[in-house]
Amino acid sequence: MGPARRARNSTGDGSPGVQCSNCHLRPSCLPAGLSPEELEQVDSRLVSWRRKVARGEALFRAGDRFDTVFAVWSGFFKTVISSTQGCEQVTGFRMAGEVIGLDGIETGRHRVDAVALENSQVCVVPFSELEALEREVPSLQRQFHKIMSQRIACGYDVMFLLGSMYAEERVAAFLLELTRRLQTRGFSASRLVLRMSRVELGSFLGLTLETVSRTLTKFQANGLLVVQQKQIQIADPAGLRQLIDRAQLPGSRQQLHEAHASTGSIAPSSG
């Protein structure tokens, strides 16, 4: 509200120097792939500061006015969509380098709640300024489009998970996807800490907490994982992968069309 809110390159606390050029998250964030000159433009032109969000607090809530996007700098978030009746569904988890708030562009209002699952910090990026800078820095424009595109494609993956997989496959796919993302950020591929509760994980996977719990227990019994509450050790990643691939063989679930006429000579009339 005050002048501090618009101060160039300062954190919410007034400390200076939120610069993309210095940030180790750059390769996976908004200014990925920019040249040094372009980075300098971003540093000087794009008003950006940091905001702290304590564990359990909301970065924003559905219905809040949208005018900024946020880049997670540290910590971990969930996004949650709620029905008018109070039923909730976790739509995703966001970690460092990932952008939050893109769903608000269309209507100018956020469509989901974004809640920190641990003490977190985000870079605050005013959207209109981002758009203005995009018009001058094509590679920033391209990167922003890529990020939105990835979010769309990622949604398709979740739809596939929710629409076509069994409980075990969903949990396996989730763990592999999460470790993949952690790995690109320099974390171990075999050890991870689940920042979300079983309820939240179940909500995201379209399962109850009991089913999530049972599945993790079963994976441990089968030697795929070592589970200690929120600490997970991936003992057999190939086994998890296999579980997903195996499950998707024909017959497991529905086929939309049986691959007809792969031979060729008989021309498919097709309608």
| CA max distance for the chain | 74
Contact 11, 49 (CB under 8 A): yes
Picked from its own copies, DNA, none, the partner binding residue 167 (CB below 5 to 8 A depending on kind) is DNA
Interacting residues with its own copies between 33 and 62 (CB under 8 A):
54-57
Structure tokens at 118: 């641990």
Q: How many CA atoms within 13 Å lie on the side-chain side of 97?
A: 16
Distance CA 197, CA 195 (A): 7
The interface partner of residue 139, options being DNA, its own copies, none and the CB cut-off 5 to 8 Å by kind, is none
168 interface partner picked from its own copies, DNA, none, CB below 5 to 8 A per type: DNA
Among its own copies, DNA, none, what binds residue 158 when CB lies within 5 to 8 Å by partner kind? its own copies
CA R_g for the chain? 21
Counting contacts by CB under 8 A, is residue 184 touching its own copies?
Answer: no
Q: Are 163 and 173 in contact (CB under 8 A)?
A: no
Give the closest residue to 100 by CA, choosing from 58, 135, 128, 157: 58
| Closest CB to DNA among residues 85, 128 | 85
Q: What's the closest the beta carbon of residue 4 comes to its own copies, in angstroms?
A: 25
Is position 91 an interface residue for its own copies (rule: CB under 8 A)?
Answer: yes
Chain residues binding DNA by CB under 7 A are 166-168, 197-199, 206-214, 216-217, 227-230, 251-254, 260, 269-271
